[in-house]
Amino acid sequence: MAEAWQFLLRRPDLLSGWTLQHLYIILVANGISLIIAVALGIWITGRGREKIADVVLYLSDIIMTIPSLAMFGFLMPLFAALGLKSYGFGVAVTALVLYGLLPVIRNTYTAIKEVDPAVVEAGRGMGMSELQILTRIKLPLATPVIMAGLRNAVVINIGIAAIAAMIGAGGLGVPIFRGLRNLRMDLIITGAVALTLLAWAADGLLGLLERWLTPEGLKRARKR
Amino acid sequence: MIRLEEVTKVYPDGTEAVRGVTLQVAKGEFCVLLGPSGCGKTTTLKMINRLIPLSSGRITVDGVDIYKVDPNDLRRGIGYAIQEIGLFPHMTVGENIATVPRLLRWPKERIRRRVEELLELVGLVPPEEFSKKYPAELSGGQRQRVGVARALGADPPILLMDEPFGAIDPITRERLQDEFLRIQAEIKKTIVFVTHDINEAVKLGDRIALMREGRLVQYATPAELLAHPKDGFVRDFVGADRTLKALRLLRVREVMEEKPPTVEASKPLAEARERLERLGVNFLPVVDREGRFLGWLNRTNLRPEGRVAEVMTPYSVLATPDTPLNEALSLMFESAVGNLAVVDGEGRLRGLLTFRRLHEVLRESYREEGQG
Q: Which domains does chain A have, with CATH numbers?
A: 16-215 (1.10.3720.10)
Residues B178 and B294 grouped into a single domain? no
**B249, B266, B292 - which closes a domain:** B249
pLDDT band at B305 (very low <50, low <70, confident <90, very high): confident
pLDDT at A137: 96
Residues B256 and B241 grouped into a single domain? no
Residues B125 and B25 grouped into a single domain? yes
Which residues of chain A does B135 touch, with a Cβ-Cβ cutoff of 8 Å? Answer: 217, 221
DSSP E strands: which ranges in B184-269? 190-195, 207-212, 215-220, 257-258, 263-264
Which chain A residue shows the shortest CA-CA distance from B160? A125
User: A192-201, B213-222, B238-247: lowest mean pLDDT where?
Assistant: B238-247
Question: Which range, B87-91, B286-290, B305-309, has the best average confidence (pLDDT)?
Answer: B87-91
A63-112 pLDDT, tens digit per residue, is 999 999 999 999 999 999 998 888 889 999 999 999 999 999 999 999 99
Residues B334 and B245 grouped into a single domain? no
Residues B135 and B111 grouped into a single domain? yes
The domain that holds B300 is classified in CATH as 3.10.580.10
**B218, B249, B280 - which closes a domain:** B249
Which residues of chain B does A213 touch, with a Cβ-Cβ cutoff of 8 Å? Answer: none
Intra-chain end-to-end CA distance of chain A, in Å: 48
User: B27-31, B159-163, B214-218, B286-290: lowest mean pLDDT where?
Assistant: B286-290
Q: Which domain covers residue B342, as residue numbers?
A: 252-361
Residues B306 and B219 grouped into a single domain? no
In a domain, B55, yes or no: yes
CB pair distance less than 8 Å for B75 and A120 = no
Residues B199 and B302 grouped into a single domain? no
Rounded Cα distance between B83 and B37, Å, is 14
CB pair distance less than 8 Å for B91 and A221 = no
- Mean per-residue pLDDT of chain B: 89
| Closest CA of chain A from B51, distance in Å | 7
Residues B231 and B260 grouped into a single domain? no
Q: Specify the length of chain A in residues.
A: 224
- Is the pLDDT confidence value at A1 over 50? yes
Q: Is B72 on the interface with A (CB under 8 A)?
A: yes
Q: What is the dihedral of CA B192, B195, B201, B205, to 10 degrees?
A: -10
Max CA separation in chain B (angstroms): 87
Residues B220 and B337 grouped into a single domain? no
- Is the pLDDT confidence value at B155 over 90? yes
Q: Is B85 on the interface with A (CB under 8 A)?
A: yes
Q: Is A46 on the interface with B (CB under 8 A)?
A: no
Give the number of other Cβ atoms within 10 Å of residue B90's Cβ: 23
Residues B87 and B129 grouped into a single domain? yes
Q: Read off the pLDDT of each residue in A123-128 and give the average, rounded to a whole number.
A: 95
B158-162 and B78-82 beta bridge pairing: parallel
User: Domain tally for chain B?
Assistant: 2
CB pair distance less than 8 Å for B150 and A137 = no
CB pairs under 8 A between A and B: 86
CB pair distance less than 8 Å for B87 and A127 = no
Q: What is the dihedral of CA B187, B192, B193, B199, to 10 degrees?
A: 90
In a domain, B356, yes or no: yes
Which chain A residue shows the shortest CA-CA distance from B97? A126
The domain that holds B13 is classified in CATH as 3.40.50.300
**If contacts are CB pairs under 8 Å, which of residues 126-155 in chain A contact chain B?**
126-129, 132, 136-137, 140-141
pLDDT band at B372 (very low <50, low <70, confident <90, very high): very low
In a domain, B165, yes or no: yes
Residue A125: which of B51, B87, B88 has the nearest Cβ? B51
Residues B281 and B166 grouped into a single domain? no
CB pair distance less than 8 Å for B136 and A217 = yes
